[in-house]
Amino acid sequence: MLYGRAGETGQIDRLLSQAHDGRSAAVVVRGEAGIGKSALLDYAAGAAGTGMRVLRVIGVEAESDLPFAGLSLLLSRVADRIGRLPGRQAHALRGALGLEDSPAADRFLTGLALLTFLGDLAEERPLLVLVDDAHWLDQASADALLFAARRLGAEGVVLLFAARDVHAPPFPAPGIAELRLAGLDGAAAAELLAEHAGDLPRYAREQIMEEARGNPLAFRELPAAQREGQIAEYLGAMPDHARIQRTFADRIAVLPEPTRMALLVAAAEGTGDLTAVVAAAGRLGAGVDDLEPAERKDLVRLVDGRLAFRHPLIRAAAYQSAPIGRRLAAHRALADALPCVGNIDRRAWHLAAATSKPDEYVASVLEQTAEFARARGGYAAVAAAYDRAAQLSTETPHRVRRLALAARAAADAGQVRRAAEFATQAGPHVTEPLMKAELAQVRAFDTYVRRLPKTAHTLLVDAALGVIEAAPAKAAFMLFDAMGVIWATGDAAATRETAARIGGLRLSRHPEAGPFIDAALAMSHLVAGDPAAGMPALRTLMEDGNELLGGLALLERACAEEWAVLTGDLAVADDLSTALVAECREQGAIGVLPESLRDLARIQLFQGRHHDARATATETLRMAEDTDQIHYADDARGILAHLAATEGDEDTTRRLAAEVRERGNSASEVWTASALALLDLGLGRHEDALRRREELGADVALHSIAGLYTLPDHVEAAARLGRPERAAAALDRFEAWAKAAGVAWAEAVSLRCRALLAPDEEAGRLYARAVEIHHGCGRPFERARTELLYGEWLRRSGHRSGARRPLRTALEIFERLGAAPWAERARGELRATGETRPARDSQDAADLLGRLTPQELQVVRLAATGMTNRDIGAQLFLSPRTVGYHLYNAYPKLGVSSRGELASLATEPEPQPA
């Protein structure tokens, strides 16, 4: 019986009830050791009854370095059903569990496969998944389970984790609800004490009540210590978990020697494999019968054929109270015994635990298990195995090679800081050029993420120069990447210096290296404020370099293609970005997806496809947080802030800007600062808008895409205030770039900016020409702004009837974009011409799409192409049932009743006047 947990059990009951209605949930139950986390999971299992399928697993410390060990135990009884998953997902999940040989998948593809699998199981009846001691899960299993947990929606799955708060490894689970268990209140504590200490005198019960501090396990164990006359040893300032563990250690200490040895072996083994424990204990003079005294004291029990400690603190006490020599002997005995039951990974780690000095044989065994883990996609386990193998290596070359391999694996696992540490240790001793280059890339990415771009730049340049002869194409790409990194800082001196070093190389003559070298030099011209010299080479790489770009690894390709938007050719940028996103989805390359989605969202924003931009940016934010790539999450917030600013949503814009500012991501702050300036401009706060723009500085356009594309806001704010001199630098920068870009929309916006500052006799001609060029060249928001300004100018110049047409056009586009403050300005100008236009109430596709949530919009887009729910789920990393749920909600919003009626909504039309 659970005492004092009515609120917690009520919450569990609600989750289980919702699962029967097809709703899913995930919760992490947190608290100190003994606080009742496992008991709450037991309650959930009992409350589920026969109406739900229950899967349960307990994290095992001894297996925390074995890839997918936890997931294998969780799915052992239902693994035969994996074959029903989509092909790529089935291969990923079966490969992860070691059920088949398959190429290692992206580490998050296994999470997607698990999500689909859990949804499939819940098709038959609701599913309850219980993960106890989640802090001891291996990283691969934790990643997969958490990835799936964040995407649960309409499957009828409840996933409960239990994790210890302190004195255990951390179990971060951002985005998942938490249920934190506190100590029992006085009434519940008294009831529990009465149950376990009713035979003790009053003074003893009062002493236990005070010392237990509301911890349920303490109420159970301290009475036993009192009866054995040991209670005085556990009083005082010792933490609760240490006090309770000490009681267990003392109870173990009085057991017979063979029993203590058998318990030590069981504790060292960790998984409850009775065959392995008995075989190893036999090598140390103990047998299965020697476990009987421990079983009588309720320290261990047999559960489903596995030997289980009643509580993790008992296992810790059995292991930690033993002398180091006996622990080493236990691990050695387990390593000797495990070949009998055929588990290579576990044997390797027990050999490592039994080894206290360098041993090349053990290191080589660990290396074998690392490669086995790599084949299953358990990159964190690969890194751990190579790290330990390096520590045990007897020769420097072997140690360095293993550290380098650990660095590569840690990078693949997303452990950026750890990868860089391995790379730093190995780097000075590596002689092979390509390996040196790869390690430099690992270190550069870490320093870039830690907001040290100049250090990242230096690492990339120095490493690239070292591999020119061995790998010229690799060197050229690294130099281009390095120039991109330094471009974003605006450091003109460093850019010039790097350009001088690159210019002296012969790489430009190499067919696979030349385009990257030319583009790298182009970046230096752009930083120097000379777009005419820089744009041609950058445009050539993006327009004609498909074969070169396609030959890059996905992450390198994402880094290269993000610069396409800098050329101004949004059509080419869109083609490149859309193809890369599709390839990432197809390959399940979820680690690369946030960057490619971020780039696509920017392009959609600039193209005026605001619904799509919001959906893509929202997915970017979610994927970036899932993969711990916070810099891309902040970039997504910047895009969402721009969308909110366009709509006049002041609260959302300011909230997103504050979130970015809190983390100090300077590149993303340019996006949010320019969004705040756009918000002020749209609301008529021209002084505030100009102040924000001037705080950014006109030079921001030399090293920021957001800064470049929003220079016209600076010009308009200054012009509205009658201060043309404060717009001059921004106008010069934008005009020079627009001329070099040679794209129609940039020319039209440039003419608009010039018109804002021109005398009346010239302004009308410039506005008219800008409006003419805008037709059919994209960027509807910028077109509408030009039409609005032209209409305003015509009205002020006395041409009231002539002003109505551009003002109507502006109003219609603004309304279709949802740009409320801009639409209200256009409506007000129309009123001033004598024409009244009510707020628009249209039912066209663009308006209907605006009713959908970002995820509903993505689902509708894909469903309109004829994709099945299962295929859509694989694309968007959702379960098929959640896809169906989104469609069910979207149909009435769109006024349709079937998939066939979605075809007309397959693409978001560019907002144009009727």
Model pLDDT, residue 237: 45
What is the rounded average pLDDT of the residues 615-620? 95
Average pLDDT over residues 4-19: 95
Q: Which listed CATH number (3.30.310, 3.30.379, 3.40.50, 3.30.390) goes with 6-180?
A: 3.40.50
Please check whether residue 894 is in contact with residue 905, taking contact to mean a CB–CB distance below 8 angstroms. yes
- Which of 16, 289, 3, 241 minimizes the C-alpha distance to 129? 16
Write out the two tokens for 447: 């320093």
The rounded distance, in Å, linking the Cα atoms of 8 and 156 is 20
Q: Supply the pLDDT for residue 591.
A: 74
Q: How many residues does the chain have?
A: 914
Q: Which residues contact 838 (CB under 8 A, 6 or more apart)?
A: none
Of 71-80, 189-198, 840-849, which has the strongest mean pLDDT? 71-80
CATH of domain 846-905: 1.10.10.10
168 or 31: which leads in pLDDT: 31
User: What DSSP line would sit under 147-213, residue for residue?
Assistant: HHHHT--SS-EEEEEEEESSSS-----TTSEEEE-----HHHHHHHHHHHHTTS-HHHHHHHHHHHT
The pTM assigned to this predicted structure is 0.83
Mean pLDDT of 198-208: 80
Enter the tokens of residue 507: 């790489």
What 3-state class would DSSP assign to 777? coil
Q: What DSSP string runs through 362-431?
A: HHHHHHHHHHHHHHTT-HHHHHHHHHHHHHH-SSHHHHHHHHHHHHHHHHHTT-HHHHHHHHHHHGGG--
Residue 648: HSE in the Cβ half-sphere, 13 Å Cα cutoff:
15
pLDDT at residue 790, rounded to an integer: 97
Q: How many CB atoms lie within 10 A of CB 340?
A: 11
Residue found under tokens 């989750």: 15
Out of 2-6, 196-200, 366-370, 673-677, pick the least confident. 196-200
User: What's the fold here for domain 743-840?
Assistant: 1.25.40
- Mean pLDDT, to the nearest integer, of 765-784? 93
pLDDT tens digits, 525-560: 998 889 999 999 999 999 887 788 988 888 889 999
Structural contact between residues 434 and 414, judged by C-beta atoms closer than 8 angstroms:
no
Mean pLDDT of 303-316: 87
Is the pLDDT at 312 greater than 90, yes or no?
Answer: no
Nearest to 726 by CA among 752, 759, 690, 762: 690
Higher pLDDT, 9 or 236: 9
- Each residue's pLDDT tens digit, 723-764: 999 999 999 999 999 999 999 999 999 999 999 999 988 999
SS3 state of residue 900: helix
Examine the pLDDT at 137 and tell me if it is beyond 90: yes
In this structure, what is the dihedral angle of CA atoms 37, 38, 42, 48, given to the nearest 10 degrees? 60
How is residue 567 annotated by DSSP?
A: G
Asked whether the CA dihedral 267, 270, 276, 280 is positive or negative, the reply is negative
Reference 646, options 777, 840, 778, 814; nearest CA is 814
Q: Where are the alpha helices (DSSP H) in 648-665?
A: 650-663
Distances 575 to 242, 246, 542, 543 between C-alpha atoms, Å: 60, 65, 10, 10
CB atoms within 10 A of CB 648: 18
238 pLDDT band, cuts 50/70/90, is very low
Higher per-residue pLDDT: 247 or 115: 115
**CA dist., res. 312 & res. 135, Å (int):** 12
Phi, psi angles (nearest 5°) of residue 35: -80, -15
Q: What is 12-64 written as a DSSP string?
A: HHHHHHHHHTT--EEEEEEESTTSSHHHHHHHHHHHHGGGSEEEEEE--GGGT
Locate 57 and state its tokens: 């697993």
229 sits in which H/E element: none
At 343, the amino acid letter reads: N
More confident residue, 540 or 102: 540
CB atoms within 10 A of CB 357: 7
Check residue 907 and give its pLDDT: 55
Report the pLDDT averaged over residues 120-129. 95
Residue 658 is predicted with a pLDDT of: 96
Share of the chain above pLDDT 90, in %: 57
- Number of helices (H) and strands (E), helices first, in the chain? 47, 7
Domain ranges across the chain: 6-180, 186-252, 257-403, 743-840, 846-905
pLDDT at residue 906 greater than cutoff 60: no
Other Cβ atoms within 10 Å of 290 Cβ, number: 19
Q: How confident is the model at residue 853 (pLDDT cuts 50, 70, 90)?
A: confident
User: What does DSSP say about strands 306-309 and 25-31: parallel, antiparallel, or unpaired?
Assistant: unpaired
253: which residues sit within 8 A by CB, 6+ positions away?
Answer: 260, 321
